[in-house]
Structure 1
Amino acid sequence: MLERKRRKNATEVTFVLPEGDPPGPVSVVGTFNDWRPGTHVLAPRPDGRRAVTVELPAKGTHAFRYLAAGDYWFNDEGADGHDGANSRLRT
């Protein structure tokens, strides 16, 4: 799930996943962090879900995926679209 907050020249995007699904650490990787695993690791929220917030330039399109333990890559079904193996996000 994606949560967005529009700012003057940027959009804060919060990537949210359910608690423990998939198990272990999960990071969001994409064009906004040069596809570097571990740069944006989802952390537990008080409600049990996991999330990380990334500030992205306004009016852009970004490709991303999630990477979980065991080299398990997966997409966000709530993304703005999909292009091949990647989820797409418009800010």
Structure 2
Amino acid sequence: MGISKQYLKTKPVCKVTFTVPAKDAQKVSVIGDFNNWDPSKNELKKLKTGAFKGTLELPKENSFEFKYLIDGTHSNDPEADAYRWNEFAGAENAVLEL
């Protein structure tokens, strides 16, 4: 898994690219507080390599909790900036610092 960040000089946003190696998966989404945890909003595209990839423009100087939803199973990114306990979910969420 991987996260790359590209800060734009002309806009107050950061382009965040999420890459998830999941050859056997049918569907991968990135869900978080930036999209109300809705898996239909940010589905990643499957590449020929078998990885899933997608880019989001998110506002700079913010912190977001997120997870991947891989064929219905939640997963954290090992390259996240931090992890935060979420009482509602009863689990840790990955954190993205921009």
Calculate the TM-score normalised by the size of structure 2.
Answer: 0.83
Alignment of 1:35-74 (within 5 A): 35-69=37-71, 71-74=72-75
List structure 1 runs of 4+ shifted beyond 2 angstroms.
44-49
**Length, aligned pairs only:** 89
3-state SS, counterpart of residue 34 of structure 2: helix
CA-CA distance at 1:37 after TM superposition: 1.1
TM-superposed CA distance for 1:46, in Å, is 5.0
Alignment of 1:1-91 (within 5 A): 1-8=2-9, 9-20=12-23, 23-69=25-71, 71-84=72-85, 85-91=92-98
Q: Give aligned-pair identity as a percent.
A: 33
Q: How far off its partner does 1:47 sit?
A: 4.5
- State TM-score, norm by structure 1: 0.89
Structure 2 gap ranges (5+): 86-91
CA distance in 1, matches of 2:53, 2:19: 4
* RMSD of aligned residue pairs (Cα, Å): 1.4
Query: Between Structure 1 and Structure 2, whose CA radius of gyration is higher?
Result: 2
> Within 1, Cα distance between the matches of 2:46 and 2:81?
24
Q: Secondary structure at 1:24's aligned position in 2?
A: coil
For 2:5 and 2:48, how far apart are their aligned partners in 1? 19
Separation in 2, partners of 1:67, 1:57: 22
Structure 2 CA distance for aligned equivalents of residues 19 and 66 of structure 1: 11
Look up the equivalent residue of 1:53 and give its one-letter code.
T
Unaligned runs of 5+ in 1: none
Instruction: Kindly provide the amino acid, as one letter, of the partner of residue 40 in structure 2.
Output: G
